[in-house]
Amino acid sequence: MKKKLAILLSGRGSNFEAIARAIEAGKLNAEIAVVISNRPGARGLDRAKELGLEAVCLPSRGVAREDYDARLVDELKRHNPDVICLAGFMRLLTPVMIEAFRGRILNIHPSLLPAFPGLDAQRQALEHGVRFSGCTVHFVDEGLDSGPIIVQAAVPVKDGDTVESLSERILEAEHAAYPRAIALVLSGAYRTEGRRVVRLKEK
C-alpha cells in the first residue's frame, strides 16, 4: 500500500505542486490523500482540484484556534495520513493537532533555522546581511518553527538581491528539499536523538 500524505496550505501552493510532481516522476513513493486549505480562495486548492485530488476547504476565520484544530484533526483522521505536510499553511498549530499526530507533521520554512523563524524570513535574512540563507524542513512541535530539522539547503544571498529575487531562489531549493524530507520520513530510516534527526545506514 502506498503511504498517504495530507497537505495543508493557505495560498499559492507551489510546494504542494512540487510534491505532486515528485510523486508523478516516481521520486516519491506516496499518494496525496487530501489537500486542505484554511482559506477559501487559495490557489493551491484550485490546483488540487485540477489534479483530481480530494480538496477540502476548512475556513479558519473567526474560529478559535483549539476548535479549528479539533475540526482539522477530524477531517485528517478521515483520510488516515501517514505524514501531514504543512506547505505555506499560515497558522500556528495548537497541542490539539500536535498531540494527535506527533512526529508526523512536517513544515517547510524559507530560512536556515534557527535563524529567522516566523513571518518574512527572506526579508529578515536580507536585512540581517547574511551571505547564505536557504530553507529548512522540520518536524512541527509546539513552538514557532522550532522542531527537529530533517533537511536543509543553503542558498547564497547576492549583492543585488531583493526580497523577491531571494525568495525565488530559496523557493527553488524548497521544491527540491520538501520531497526529499518526506521520502526520508516515509522510509522510516532515521532516528530522532533529542533535536537531531539521524539517518540510519541503508542495509
Give the CB-side neighbour count of residue 39, counting CA atoms within 13 A: 13
**Cα(195)–Cα(59) distance, rounded to whole angstroms?**
33
What are the grid coordinates assigned to 185, written together?
520520513
* Alpha helices (H) in the chain, listed in sequence order: 14-24, 43-50, 65-79, 95-100, 121-128, 163-187
* Interactions with ligand GRF, residue window 167-196 (CB under 6 A): 171, 174
**Cα(74)–Cα(68) distance, rounded to whole angstroms?**
10
Q: Catalytic annotation on 109?
A: yes
Least Cβ distance, residue 49 to ligand GRF (angstroms): 16
Nearer CB in complex with ligand GRF: 49/77: 49
Check residue 134 for interaction with ligand GRF (CB under 6 A).
no
* Interactions with ligand GRF, residue window 61-90 (CB under 6 A): 87-88
Nearer CB in complex with ligand GRF: 130/189: 130
Among 19, 28, 36, 110, binds ligand GRF (CB under 6 A): 110
Nearer CB in complex with ligand GRF: 3/109: 109
The widest CA-to-CA distance across the chain, in whole angstroms, is 50
Taking a C-beta distance cutoff of 8 angstroms, is the pair 150, 184 a contact? yes
Catalytic residue among 79, 109, 138, 175: 109
Nearest residue by C-beta to ligand GRF?
88
The stretch among 56-64, 77-85, 103-111, 148-156 that binds ligand GRF (CB under 6 A) is 103-111
Preceding peptide of 114 cis, ω within 30° = yes
Would you call 82 helix, strand, or coil by DSSP?
coil
105-109 vs 83-86, strand pairing mode: parallel
**Cα(145)–Cα(151) distance, rounded to whole angstroms?**
13
Least Cβ distance, residue 33 to ligand GRF (angstroms): 18
The stretch among 62-70, 104-112, 150-158, 188-196 that binds ligand GRF (CB under 6 A) is 104-112
Check residue 11 for interaction with ligand GRF (CB under 6 A).
yes
Catalytic residue numbers, as ranges = 109
Residues near ligand GRF, by CB under 6 A: 9, 11-15, 44, 87-88, 108-110, 171, 174
